[in-house]
Amino acid sequence: MENETTGKNFIEQMIDKDLAEGVYDTVHTRFPPEPNGYLHIGHAKAILLNYGIAKKYGGKFNLRFDDTNPTKEKMEFVESIKADVQWLGADWEDRLFFASDYFEQMYEAAVKLIKKGKAYVCDLTAEEIREYRGTLTEPGKDSPYRNRSVEENLKLFEEMRAGKYADGEKVLRAKIDMASPNINMRDPIIYRVAHMTHHNTGDKWCIYPMYDFAHPIEDAIEGITHSLCTLEFEDHRPLYDWVVRELEYPHPPRQIEFAKLYLTNVVTGKRYIKKLVEEGIVDGWDDPRLVSIAALKRRGFTPESIRMFVELCGISKSQSSVDYAMLEYCIREDLKMKRPRMMAVLDPIKLVIDNYPEGQVEYLDAANNLENEELGSRKIPFCRELYIEREDFMEEPPKKYFRLFPGNEVRLMHAYFVKCESFVKDETGKVIEVHCTYDPETKAGSGFTGRKVKGTIHWVPAHYAITAQVRLYENIIDEEKGVYNEDGSLNLNPNSLTVVENAYLEPGLADAKPYDSFQFVRNGFYCVDAKDTTPEKLVFNRIVSLKSSFKLPKA
């Protein structure tokens, strides 16, 4: 039993205690994004944690949009967030909610606080409120409007709702303690005037609740038991508890904070991503060089790989950063057994087999994945003229170079041994054609044991190959210099995208559909781009290269 407890993270241990002591008899969690941008890899941790906890305890999970700030919110973001949460496998069933669904109840809650003498309308400007608030070492001082009567406050608050006042002219504040050591408890603003059209409620409201007031009310209304949030809300917890206590909710939810997921050398700030989009440096919030969930999906990451990554990161109370290489490790681990290994040539040079009959074609057997027989096999056309990678031929090779060079013999993958006899250069001195002879006795699978070769290279048949655009991605940040320059701008990597316009692929890839992914042998894992691929033109994104120095730390 002790092992079972120590194997659980601190949140699960707290939930176990709550259930054992009868504080709650069920577990109900939520993921509460503000629809003001696309979600990123850090949000994936929050989604999977909240959903995973609910599932583990046989409870419920809600998706709720915290849409209390109409200045930055759009339906485009609502739809993208729903798609991301669904893609990660978190099922909210029929429990999709909006904070704006509860605006009437929040207004009534504010009226209740006024009637209890726990809230007042204040006429101080935002700057004056800041001045009155005090500092970390000095207490604040009371607003001159703090002791208005209940009747006057009710009348003014009603007038605020009726649109009588301009933005910023009046606010509603909670009456708590201007000398509290926690600045969040120094009569925080709970309602503001904002004459803005809301994406969900239109022009019905011209006053909007503040997040710190709205959030505990939403949780209480929905019956959330454990409100899991990141560490920056730890100082806000006394206010969260004050709101649910003063409003006398019968089953107050409990806020628990955990550390955010920080990834090294990536851009997650909405302000920076917006700038990259607006300046055309990236082609949208889903550009495969970003770590928004939409970008990771488009690049070819799988929900399983992100779940594995979040699990490896773990849940803790202490802030730490995780190397991006760990995310790449997870996608390699997920794909290596699941995806076919196909041949693609990104930097082609023609190889002519002089002694192979002109016009002849034979179909060779190729296993789709040698580590997973269940993926079956395919036939690849083989003929006299092929394409190989330029780096697989050298006129004057260094030591330990086992690929093609004059007089050397290699195996063509799934095919025959070929020996380099000669090569042709163009007028600039660039090699454009390699001529070989093949040994028909050495066909792959024939059991030939006569001699061995040290090198095996891949190829595609020249007359049957299909062409595709291939995009090779590196980190958008120059990792040597760090994320930010001294002036606060981003340290961009000029080589974050290399486009190969005409790569040659084996014909079996002709029917690849958006999001289909493959291993290109000796090269990396690639995914069909869902945004730019058309019936006429295939576009592949490199998800990740094949090798990495990253190793999982030993347990």
**3-state secondary structure labels for all residues of 390-422:** HHHECCCCCCCCCCECCCCEEEECCCCEEEEEE
Q: What percent of the chain has pLDDT over 90?
A: 86
Report the pLDDT value the prediction gives residue 527, as an integer from 0 to 100.
Answer: 98
Confidence at residue 482, expressed as pLDDT on a 0 to 100 scale: 77
Distance between CA atoms of 129 and 168, rounded to whole angstroms? 11
pLDDT of 548 higher than 80: no
Distance between CA atoms of residues 22 and 25, nearest Å: 6
Output the pLDDT for position 549. 58
Candidate from 173-187, 423-437, 475-489 with smallest mean pLDDT: 475-489
CB atoms within 10 A of CB 133: 17
> pLDDT tens digits, residue range 155-195?
999 999 999 999 999 999 999 999 999 999 999 999 999 99
Instruction: For each of the domains in the chain, give its residue range(s) and CATH number, in order of start.
Output: 2-258 (3.40.50.620), 262-335 (1.10.1160.10), 350-454 (2.40.240.10), 466-545 (2.40.240.10)
- Return contacts of 135-144, CB within 8 angstroms, 24+ apart: 136/183, 139/178, 139/179, 139/180, 140/178, 140/179, 140/183, 140/186, 140/187, 141/178, 142/178, 143/173, 143/187
pLDDT, tens digit (0-9, with 9 covering 90-100), for 536-545: 999 999 999 9
pLDDT exceeds cutoff 50 at 290? yes
Q: Which residue has the tokens 């100082």?
A: 235
**Does residue 4 surpass a pLDDT of 50?**
no
Quote the pLDDT of residue 205. 97
CA distances from 348 to 381, 435, 465 (A): 18, 14, 12
Please identify which residue in the block is written with the tokens 């002519």. 352
Average pLDDT over residues 435-460: 93
Q: What pLDDT band is residue 27 in, cutting at 50, 70 and 90?
A: very high
| Average pLDDT score over the chain | 94
Predicted confidence at residue 6, as pLDDT, reads: 54
Top mean-pLDDT range of 68-82, 245-259, 307-321: 245-259
Region 484-508 average pLDDT: 91
Split at pLDDT 50, 70, 90, the class of 522 is very high
Rounded to an integer, the average pLDDT of 235-246 is: 98
Q: Which of 117, 54, 51 is nearest to 89 (CA)?
A: 51
Residue with the larger pLDDT of the pair 429 and 320: 429
User: In this model, does residue 315 exceed pLDDT 60?
Assistant: yes
- Mean pLDDT, range 464-474, rounded to an integer: 97
pLDDT of res. 481: 80
pLDDT for the residue 551: 64
| Residue 122, both tokens | 């204040």
**Quick one: pLDDT band at residue 2, thresholds 50, 70, 90?**
very low
User: In sequence order, what DSSP letters do the residues of 280-339 get, joined into one string?
Assistant: TSSSSTT-TTS-BHHHHHHHT--HHHHHHHHHHH---SS--EE-HHHHHHHHHHHHTTTS
Helix or strand holding residue 382 (H, E): strand 377-382
What would the pLDDT profile of 336-376 be if each residue is shown by its tens digit? 999 999 999 999 999 999 999 999 999 999 999 999 999 99
Say if residue 1's pLDDT is above 50. no
Q: What confidence score (pLDDT) does residue 166 get?
A: 97
Residue 450: the pLDDT is 85
129 vs 449, more confident: 129
Select the more confidently predicted residue: 264 or 215.
215
Instruction: Give pLDDT tens digits for 115-129.
Output: 999 999 999 999 999
* Encoded tokens for 259: 């550390």
**H-type alpha helices, 149-228:** 150-161, 211-222
Q: Is the pLDDT of residue 423 over 50?
A: yes
CA separation for the pair 218, 95 (Å, rounded): 13
